[in-house]
Chain A
């Protein structure tokens, strides 16, 4: 006879950098149901558009989340530029692409580290974060900030990357790739890693479509879903943008998708650096936005969409973000029933939750 009990998980928990609360209904050690409660990080920043000018709001948009900060800023700028019919210079588009891909690299390395920590492989966690610092050094060199850059603005970007700096970045990326090859061996061939990841939290292709999951979670189950294929910024000019998919649909597949995307990002940055045209990096923007637009970008965690509505004044009327973690929470709750209590931290991490994006 199994006993039913409820174990509260979070909001303060060693494996969670961010507060989320799950009530896990257990039968002995097996999870039967997971009931989430959120709202610990809700700030209400969408309402703030009514108090900030649309050019100043970029700073707030970037602070929706500190991990995919750049993509939030550029997604918002894209929407405002589309409303105002502003054509940003091609060089700015390429620079946005480069920073976006670097953000993806830093986010995926961070995630690989946290995953390693969740299954108790602490040295791998440290190694991933050591590698991540090199990406942060590139950010610091090119933008001045480590996690929040404020380099995107309505009408282009604020800073240029000189050709000397670009060469230096490529050299650093090559060293990162060399180190990644080492990690790859651990992630691909290590028994510890495989025994914890293979066959855990399986999501079928049909289930993903039913739940509407996005990003690496969807790609890990064999769905070709990548917003970069829409060709925003300079992605339409780069041939390497092809969604990376795995078909197994378990934690291991999602891990491999992210690992392989790191190499892809390096390829995209190199391609962008070699084809980047010379010229201006921003245009002057006059007038106020009047109209509405939906912009979609591919963040490290999946598709994020931004809805912006202006009314002809310098204050926007409505701003709405749909973040990838919100779309993936359904997938998380679908994987939890039936798993062991000890696997819960890993399953929570496998969707790469970003609570501050989700709750804003």
Chain B
């Protein structure tokens, strides 16, 4: 975990989840798993968050809400899809009101499988998301440096 240079703040949204993955996500924050000791804080404000956790598949009504949350988050940001429903639709794939996985609406970086996804798997997913977040941050810094260098030389 030494690659993590900042405390990742998360925001959680329930697409059309059955609650199973939601309560497991919440369970990560409570004493047995306690991710807060690693600096992970669950926030309700999209502008404070680095990582968006989405449980459940997406339907017509929740897709625009997800978009709104995603667009409000500051760059760089990472999306983690939790549970089989968020990955592909799962058992509800053939339901008339299910569009499919979260990646039909948002660019997803980390996929956490399971029905319901276990807290260990979710924590692993968030750790992977931290890695990607760092890469995105490095990439952005590199871009900025190049732009500055070009400007100075030109």
Contact = CB atoms under 8 A, between A and B. Distances in A.
Contact of A18 (B22, B30, B94): B22
A51 B94 contact: yes
Contacts of A63: 18, 20, 91-92, 115
Interface in A51-72: 51, 59-60, 63-67, 69
B44 A12 contact: yes
Chain A interface mostly: loop
B96 A41 contact: no
A45 B31 contact: no
Contacts of B61: 39-40, 42
Given A17-B14, A44-B98, A147 B24 contact: yes
B140 to A, nearest CB: 26
B131 to A, nearest CB: 26
Contacts of A127: 31
Interface residues of A, number: 41
Interface string B19-51: 111111011001110000000000110100000
A356 B22 CA distance: 11
B69 interface: yes
Interface in A173-204: none
Contact of B59 (A13, A42, A354): A42
Contacts, number: 119
Contacts of A354: 19
Contacts of B77: none
Contact of B22 (A17, A47, A126): A17
A40 B18 contact: no
Interface in A312-360: 354, 356
Contacts of A279: none
A148 B20 contact: yes
Contacts of A148: 18, 20, 115-116
Interface in B77-103: 91-92, 94-98
Contacts of B26: 17, 129
Q: Which among B12, B16, B18, B95 has the highest number of chain A CB atoms within 10 Å? A: B18
A45 B92 contact: yes
18 contacts: A13-B44, A17-B23, A19-B13, A40-B14, A40-B65, A41-B14, A43-B92, A44-B98, A45-B92, A60-B91, A63-B92, A64-B18, A66-B18, A126-B31, A129-B26, A130-B31, A130-B32, A146-B24
Question: Considering the complex of A and B, which 4 residue pairs feature the smallest CB-CB distances, nearest first?
Answer: A66-B20, A14-B44, A66-B19, A129-B30
Given A66-B17, A146-B116, A356-B18, 6 more contacts: A12-B44, A12-B46, A42-B61, A66-B116, A133-B27, A356-B14
Interface of A: 11-15, 17-19, 39-45, 47-48, 51, 59-60, 63-67, 69, 110, 113, 125-127, 129-130, 133, 136, 145-148, 354, 356
